[in-house]
Amino acid sequence: MSVQELGFDVAFGCIAGLRSGTPGGPKVLALHGWLDNAASFLPLAIQLPALDLVMLDLPGHGRSAHLGPGADYNLMVTVNAVLDVADALGWERFALLGHSMGAGIGSILAASVPERVERLVAIEALGALAEASDRTAQRLRDGIAAARALPSKKLRVFPDLAAPIRARMQANQLSEASARLLVERGVLAVDGGFVWSTDPRLTLPALQRMNEAQVRALIGAIECPVVFADPPQVYLPEPLRSERAALLPQGRLAVLPGTHHLHMEQPAAVAAAIGDFLG
């Protein structure tokens, strides 16, 4: 499989990415999960060679630029960055393939710019993380306190890639091969070894979240066809998962056995479930 390294100049800096597949094929933007990067989609890309697949490092992740000092990572920052990339590609209409956080971002994009999003595949999430409104003040307090404390923390330096690969394997139930893909694109070489390239601010608590009613209104506004492939996770358990899927005007739920990164660990099964839909 031929993979091309890409870079797109957007408002805050460069968005990096990878491109594979067939020029002129169905246009698909792939959006990875929290603290992952574009390499998350490489195993699946092998199974979907007919697509024109552009896999992004979202802001602050992988090889993409970090936001400037004082800026706050939020879903809208990422939504606008993805649209800037689509504009740079000259893609007026395209499909979205999202995993976890990327599926949440894809949900917001599909609801907010229906004239541009043809189809959405949401793996391991649908809509945004929701929270009760009475948690608003506490969330602000926690987020601001964590942000004020962050500058005093030092980045951990790994002497080689073995330790971060083990860490990703343990944290995400990943095989060594999948963990290595994410780590090799997700570290920087420094004196003494390697550090994570991810902006540490991405680990801070979000300052705001939608409530469940807002999330459900968002999902109900998705006008494009959707395939929602999702084994239940702690953040989206049953029956909430099925209730959200039922709100999709043109959606269907495909439940596949696997772990959180099933698109990396079972790429052939995932491709079989979504390939015809995207292509």
Active site residue ranges: 100
Structure tokens at 225: 């066809």
C-alpha distance from residue 194 to each of 63, 167, 171, 175, 252 (Å): 14, 14, 19, 21, 42
- Crossing angle for the helix pair 212-220 and 101-112, to the nearest 10 degrees: 60
Q: Which has the closest alpha carbon to 55: 20, 81, 84?
A: 20
- Crossing angle for the helix pair 75-89 and 101-112, to the nearest 10 degrees: 70
Give the whole-angstrom CA distance, residue 231 versus residue 270: 12
CB of 242 closer than 8 Å to CB of 253: yes
End-to-end CA distance of the chain: 18
Structure tokens at 260: 């959180």
Give the whole-angstrom CA distance, residue 135 versus residue 88: 39
